[in-house]
């Protein structure tokens, strides 16, 4: 049984993330979406809110579960019995950092491999930060996130001037 982990901040989950989740879930027996708890970036949504949104958006995928982790990803991978880490690559700008992480993780845990899925072209520009910025200025984010995430974003930003 192949178990994989898709780690990230998911603050919030976008259609780009969902694309990677749907595609990678089709390749493995079980996919754990691992939400990073101790984030250096100060997140807009709490971990619980992020998990709730991910669960809603992926409820059609029966072999996907959502968990949180802090500390080293590789420790979480070992603990969960996962042998694969999934990451998405949008552009060359993602590549250098991702390569460094994958190589470091491979030294730390040779039994865990990282696979990269290149983004669907229509989401190659998309990031959680851009979505927050657009929403913060009152823009329409319906092309970028699911209706549920759009609703959560509206609630979160109510009463705030900008993100
Ligand atoms: P992190 O804080 O680790 O960058 P993110 O939540 O931003 O976490 O992203 C998690 C993973 O999803 C990363 O591998 C990232 O490259 C990938 N990803 C983010 N946005 C997209 C997108 N639009 N298309 C494909 N992959 C994406």
pLDDT in tens, 102-143: 999 999 999 999 999 999 999 999 999 999 999 999 999 999
Domain encompassing residue 26: 3-124
Inside any domain, residue 156 = no
Inside any domain, residue 157 = no
Distance of CA 21 to the CA centre of its chain: 8
Inside any domain, residue 151 = no
pLDDT in tens, 68-91: 999 999 999 999 999 999 999 998
Our count of domains for the chain comes to 1
Counting every residue written for the chain, the total comes to: 163
Inside any domain, residue 48 = yes
CA distance linking residue 66 with residue 17, whole number of Å: 13
Of 56, 78, 75, 76, the closest CA to residue 67 belongs to: 76
Is the distance from CB of 50 to CB of 79 less than 8 angstroms? no
Q: Say how many Å lie between the CA of residue 69 and the centre of ligand 1.
A: 16
The CATH number linked to 94 is 3.40.50.620
Inside any domain, residue 143 = no
Compute φ and ψ for 64, nearest 5 degrees.
-120, 135
Catalytic residue among 9, 50, 87, 90: 90
Inside any domain, residue 51 = yes
Q: Using a 6 Å cutoff on CB, does residue 20 contact ligand 1? A: yes
Inside any domain, residue 39 = yes
Inside any domain, residue 162 = no
| pLDDT class of 39 with cuts at 50, 70, 90 | low
């Amino acid at each position: 049984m192949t178990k994989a982990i898709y780690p990230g901040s998911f603050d919030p989950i976008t259609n780009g993330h969902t694309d990677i989740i749907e595609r990678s879930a089709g390749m493995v027996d079980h996919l754990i979406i691992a939400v990073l708890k101790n984030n250096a970036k100060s997140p807009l949504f709490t971990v619980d809110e992020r998990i709730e949104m991910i669960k809603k958006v992926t409820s059609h995928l029966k072999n996907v579960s959502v968990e949180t982790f802090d500390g080293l990803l590789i420790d979480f991978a070992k603990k969960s019995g996962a042998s694969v880490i999934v990451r998405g690559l949008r552009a060359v700008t993602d590549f250098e950092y991702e390569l460094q992480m994958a190589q470091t993780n491979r030294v730390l845990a040779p039994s865990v491999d990282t696979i990269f899925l290149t983004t669907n072209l229509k989401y190659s520009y998309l990031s959680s930060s851009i979505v927050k910025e657009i929403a913060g200025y009152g823009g329409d984010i319906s092309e970028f996130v699911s209706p549920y995430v759009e609703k959560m974003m509206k609630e979160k930003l109510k009463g705030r001037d900008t993100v």
